[in-house]
Structure 1
Amino acid sequence: MDTDNLSWGTELWDQHENLALHTHKGIEFLEKYGGFVRERCAIEAEYAAKLRRLVKNYQPKKKDEEDYQYSACQAFKTMMNEVGDLAGQHEVVAEDLTSTVLQELQLLVRNLKDDRKKHMVEETKLRSSLQTQLAALDRTKKAYEKAFKETEKALDEYQKADADLNLSRAVVEKARLNMVSKNQQCEEAKKDYANQLEKTNELQHQHYAALIPEVLRQLQELDERRVRSIKGFIIKSVEVERKTFPIMEKCLEGIVRAANNINEKEDTRLVIERYKSGFNPPEDFLFEDLQRGADEHSNSMISNHSNSLPSMSRVDTIKGTISAGKNKKRVGLFTSLFGNNKSNYSNSESKEDYTDLPPVQRRKKLQQKLDEIAVQINKETQTRDGLMKMKSVYEANSALGDPMSIEGQLNDSGHRLDKLRQEQLKFIAWLEESDGKGQLHNPVSSTTSSPSSQRSNSVHRNLLNGNSNGKQRHSSSDESVSPSASSDGSRHKQPPNTLALGTSHSPESGLGSRTSLPDSDRGDELGGAEGVDDDPDFADGPLTPLGTCKALYAFEASSEGSIPMFDGEELLLLELDQGDGWTRVRRMNDLEEGFVPTSYIECSLYSAC
């Protein structure tokens, strides 16, 4: 059987009621599928919302951010981000199903219902028209049958009257005329019946051969369109979900990659770095001699001596004896060394100098604070430089603005910079104090420090002294936004700011202070000797060069221990920067040595170094 040529109009011409019921159930099924898609979209959206709520609930709090430095925690955090992206893909599925499937499906259902209703009304009209024709045919047929019977009756009456000799000719003629009249009426009724029969047959043939089949064909197309649309909607639903697979796959790959980045050794290192106190383990307990006589003699001597001392001295004496350990609980030994980690770390911000933390943790916190202050100083310096440039532009062209309008902002910026530098010096002093205490606790660090560390410490001390002795400038009128000029008056490139080298705002202003240079401090430590010739490093002859360096900016040496240089000058590198911002150099053609700012030069070490 050729399925392509099957038609409801020819095969199911007499199953109109069943076809009407079938198309109604088909549209109901389409609505049922639409309900499924709608609930699927709601589930996808709800699932995405729950995933996002889950990720939000497990996001690290601000107070727990320090715990998320470990690789396992970082992997978990990355996984939560990827799960959030997966939730986004489920939202995309819900949105696309709603826009490309559900809305089209609902529109199709409305159109199918309207089309079916229109076809059913058309079919009802055609069937009503056929019934009208059949009723007319029935009426004409009955009229013809009635006229035919009356004609036969009139014929019988005429024949009886004509055969009866007792009747007059008038009665016979009347019967004949009645017979002729009925005969004519019968012929007319027969003719009407024949015409109506022809019309009815023609309409019935057209009804079952063309009109009804056309209606059924349209119903067939409607049902086929419904079935074809369901097929398309299912495929579209799959395509909508399939589009998200690559992104979901990337999210899953990101989760696997984050899991592979978990490093238990690195986490162990971070735990040590985070919780290391810097204290040494407790020493061995001393042996207590239990000889009764010797103990009694020793105790009596201690007792007599303590009675002769003030109460405070007695306490100090007991602290130095073995018996002092008996007055403490054993747990106090570890508490006094390590402290309570919970209270120390949870209240680490309670003291500004972090003295409530162990040495290593205190140095770590102080260094973090110094880094934050350096960032703030850099930001504030950039703001001040911008204001200075704007002021210079206003001074050059008063039409652009009033230079005095920026004076207040420059003063505020100068005050903020001075405050930040004072805070920086304060934390540097605390850091040096922490380093000094750390050396007391660490046997390795208690040895003689290297010259480089001595120089670094002296620079820090000089910063503290120079800040109190030098006069700080708060007004922008004392500063210049133009680059420093060399002795011949030529302009050079603007050098970078060296924030930790002095208290003034310009890069070179801090270099003009004697307390800012390593050599001057070193000279003070050696008893006030001046110049590089008295430096202990020259005791055995000139230093061996480590490499060469090139001046990036011109530098005018106005402080003892520093040497000037011009832009592009080649120098010999004698000693690397030890963390104080200065580098020791020597000129190429003579033995003149001194210090220059590290940020002003570009170094190239020899391969042997």
Structure 2
Amino acid sequence: MNDTVSWQELWDQQHALNEYTGKGIEVIERLVSYAKERAAIELEYGKNMKALSKKYAIKQQKENELWNTITLVKGFQEYIAGTIPIAAQREVVAENLKNNVIPFATQKIAEYRAAKKQLEVDYANLSKQLQGVVNEMNKAHKDYGKSFKETEAAMLKYAKAEKNMEISRLELEKTKNNYMVKSGSLEESKQTYAAHTSKANIEQDAYFDKKLPQLLDNYKQLHTNRVLDTVEILNKCVEAESSVNSIIASCHNDMRRDIAAIDPVRDAALVVENMKTGHPRPASFIFEDLGHPQSFLSAASPDGNDATLKKGTLVGRNKDNKGVARKQSMHQKFFGGSDKKDTGDYGTLPPQQRARKILGKIHDLEKDKDRAIQSREGVSKMRDAYRANSKLGDPAVCEAQIEEYTKEIDTLGQQLQKFRTMLDDVNAQLGSGGLSTTSIGGSDTPPSVRSVSSASSGVTTRVNKINDALRAGGGERRESYSGSGESDNDPAAATNGKERDEVYDELTPPVLGEATAQFAFDGEQDGTIRMEAHERLWLIEKDEGDGWTRVRKENNSADGFVPSSYLKMTWFDGKI
């Protein structure tokens, strides 16, 4: 469109302009209503999607290790879980509409309503001013016409009196004077009318040449600004959704990656490794020749009855001549009876599964023992801090906690020794197929499928392993990618150790909250960092009861542990 089009051509369309401007403002009002309803829909959508994900997620079953580790279940779980951040992004869309679109549009509506009203008032004032001048001109014209008629009547009367010979000179003079007065009034009203006409023309020219064009230009400017702001509001509506498209696309990529990790071959290996019993295959069946039927006649009983079958037994077929007992079921023959009860040593399980269960128990006990040792070390550090500064706390409280942790460590050590002895006994039964804590790093998953479960364990598992390593005082970092110990028999572990260390070192724990240091801390112990009073820090791991919290510098330059009592913490989940 040509921007040089003059709005002065609308000098007589004031009412239509007001109606057009009002409808343009109503468009913005409709946008506001749309944004409000859209925000409500997005919030409801996000809420329903989260509920749907929770409804169809497969719950972890502690007693079913196979179901928890196969890639199909993990891929399904990751896909279902991946819909939760997408639902959260829909909630972000709602927040963007509420925070960026609705307030801006509401403000613009108020501005344009006020501007439209002011233009209407200005037009009314201009019209009133012009109409006032025109009314004065019309009044002067009316007075001029009236004076003209009166003068005309006086003139006719005077002319008639002048021709009347019977009228007296006095009457004639009186008629003449009246005519002369009326003629003066006529001239005066004529001049007044002329002056008002000139004034009205000047005002009308100013109205149409200057005042009304200026008013119409204001309408044009209002129109332009309103349209541009409407465009901006529409763009904000689009941006409210497009701003999260990259995040949603990333979630979709993560879903595709997790789905691509589903591997039927690996799942088959997991099924075999988790279900095999370790029992040897049953031996071949031996053919039993019962001989000639006549032999039964010689085996007749003293009472003369036939000695054939009696209530499920075959007489005379064993050494004691007491008959042959009924056969066991195939399940009892292969796997043993089902009337045994588990006494805590997994004795009712087949050898291979029992070894795996015992190995998993040993791994759990080792983790509990390591955690107890770390907790005792943390309390010991806190006790030393209390002894150095009595204002921080009572060291006697820490002494009691240290004693409890020591007892717990001793108990866990005894249990570990017990289960290790059990494992040795089971491995003796299995022979070359036995399992050991050194071969798979204390995991209850066989070496051949360990990579499957570790590959899908995710960043969270690796971060927890880093945290455990740091709490243990910065021990060996040459752990496997999944956090388990390396096997001497695993060639991948021997060849890719360096590469795994690089992956290990690049992992960064997520930020869980923020904190402000209330006191200074020197950070001289291993695994701790120095902090100044009033310094802002990122929280990357919660206090697990040992009195220490892991933090990171605000500039991400270092991280380590500091006393929890030194911090004023705000977690991103809303807890303080």
How much has 1:408 moved relative to structure 2?
A: 4.2
Residues in 2 aligned to 1:358 and 1:260: alpha-carbon distance in whole angstroms: 34
Report if aligned partners of 2:61, 2:68 keep a CA contact under 8 Å in 1.
no
How much has 1:322 moved relative to structure 2?
A: 8.4
Question: 2:438 maps to what in 1?
Answer: none
Normalized against structure 1, the TM-score is what?
Answer: 0.60
How much has 1:5 moved relative to structure 2?
A: 1.7
Residues in 2 aligned to 1:33 and 1:97: alpha-carbon distance in whole angstroms: 11
| Greater shift in the superposed pair: 169-178 or 373-382 | 373-382
Distance 1:265 1:321, change over 3 A: farther
Residues in 1 aligned to 2:16 and 2:398: alpha-carbon distance in whole angstroms: 91
Question: 1:423 maps to what in 2?
Answer: 415
Residues in 2 aligned to 1:281 and 1:208: alpha-carbon distance in whole angstroms: 111
Match 1:366 to one of 358, 362, 366 = 358
Q: Over aligned residues, Cα RMSD in angstroms? A: 4.1
| Greater shift in the superposed pair: 425-434 or 219-228 | 425-434
Residues in 2 aligned to 1:39 and 1:410: alpha-carbon distance in whole angstroms: 59
Query: How is 1:45-124 mapped onto 2 (pairs within 5 angstroms)?
Result: 45-63=43-61, 66=65, 67-124=67-124
Residues in 1 aligned to 2:351 and 2:263: alpha-carbon distance in whole angstroms: 27
Query: How is 1:217-236 mapped onto 2 (pairs within 5 angstroms)?
Result: 217-236=217-236
- 1:19-73, Cα deviation, whole Å (9 max, x unpaired): 2221122222232233333333333333333332222223332437842311122
- 1:479-532, Cα deviation, whole Å (9 max, x unpaired): xxxxxxxxxxxxxxx9x9xxxxxxxxxxxxxxxxxxxxxxxxxxxxxxxxxxxx
Residues in 2 aligned to 1:397 and 1:17: alpha-carbon distance in whole angstroms: 83
Question: 2:555 maps to what in 1?
Answer: none
- 1:297-352, Cα deviation, whole Å (9 max, x unpaired): 67979xx9xxxxxxxxx9xx8999984235x6xxx3225644899x99xxx9x742
Question: 2:175 maps to what in 1?
Answer: 175
Query: How is 1:435-454 mapped onto 2 (pairs within 5 angstroms)?
Result: 435=427, 438-439=429-430
Question: 1:377 maps to what in 2?
Answer: 369
Residues in 1 aligned to 2:433 and 2:300: alpha-carbon distance in whole angstroms: 38
Residues in 2 aligned to 1:51 and 1:173: alpha-carbon distance in whole angstroms: 110
- 1:409-466, Cα deviation, whole Å (9 max, x unpaired): 4443333233222322332344345445x45xx8x779xxxxxxxxxxxxxxxxxxxx
How much has 1:148 moved relative to structure 2?
A: 0.5
Letter in 1 for 2:407: H
Question: 1:469 maps to what in 2?
Answer: none
Distance 1:145 1:84, change over 3 A: same
Residues in 1 aligned to 2:21 and 2:321: alpha-carbon distance in whole angstroms: 105
Letter in 1 for 2:369: I
Distance 1:110 1:384, change over 3 A: closer
Question: 1:25 maps to what in 2?
Answer: 23
Question: 1:598 maps to what in 2?
Answer: none
Report if aligned partners of 1:274, 1:361 keep a CA contact under 8 Å in 2.
yes
Report if aligned partners of 2:45, 2:87 keep a CA contact under 8 Å in 1.
yes
How much has 1:403 moved relative to structure 2?
A: 8.0
Report if aligned partners of 2:60, 2:68 keep a CA contact under 8 Å in 1.
no
Question: 2:9 maps to what in 1?
Answer: 11
Letter in 2 for 1:88: A
Distance 1:87 1:108, change over 3 A: same
Distance 1:96 1:367, change over 3 A: same
Report if aligned partners of 1:318, 1:324 keep a CA contact under 8 Å in 2.
no
Letter in 2 for 1:378: D
How much has 1:166 moved relative to structure 2?
A: 1.8
Question: 2:522 maps to what in 1?
Answer: none
Distance 1:169 1:230, change over 3 A: same
How much has 1:407 moved relative to structure 2?
A: 5.3
Residues in 2 aligned to 1:394 and 1:255: alpha-carbon distance in whole angstroms: 49
Partner of 2:115, secondary structure, is helix
Distance 1:212 1:243, change over 3 A: same
Question: 2:464 maps to what in 1?
Answer: none
User: Which of these two proteins has the greater Rg computed from alpha carbons?
Assistant: 1
Letter in 1 for 2:330: L
How much has 1:240 moved relative to structure 2?
A: 4.3
Question: 1:35 maps to what in 2?
Answer: 33
How much has 1:233 moved relative to structure 2?
A: 3.0
Partner of 1:4, secondary structure, is coil
How much has 1:211 moved relative to structure 2?
A: 1.6
Report if aligned partners of 2:57, 2:81 keep a CA contact under 8 Å in 1.
no
Question: 1:185 maps to what in 2?
Answer: 185
Q: Percent identity, aligned pairs only?
A: 31
Report if aligned partners of 1:289, 1:295 keep a CA contact under 8 Å in 2.
no
Residues in 2 aligned to 1:400 and 1:248: alpha-carbon distance in whole angstroms: 47
Question: 1:562 maps to what in 2?
Answer: none
Partner of 2:326, secondary structure, is helix
Residues in 1 aligned to 2:243 and 2:83: alpha-carbon distance in whole angstroms: 17
Question: 1:151 maps to what in 2?
Answer: 151
Letter in 2 for 1:31: E
Residues in 1 aligned to 2:102 and 2:343: alpha-carbon distance in whole angstroms: 63
How much has 1:131 moved relative to structure 2?
A: 2.2
Gaps of 5+ in 1: 305-313, 447-493, 497-609
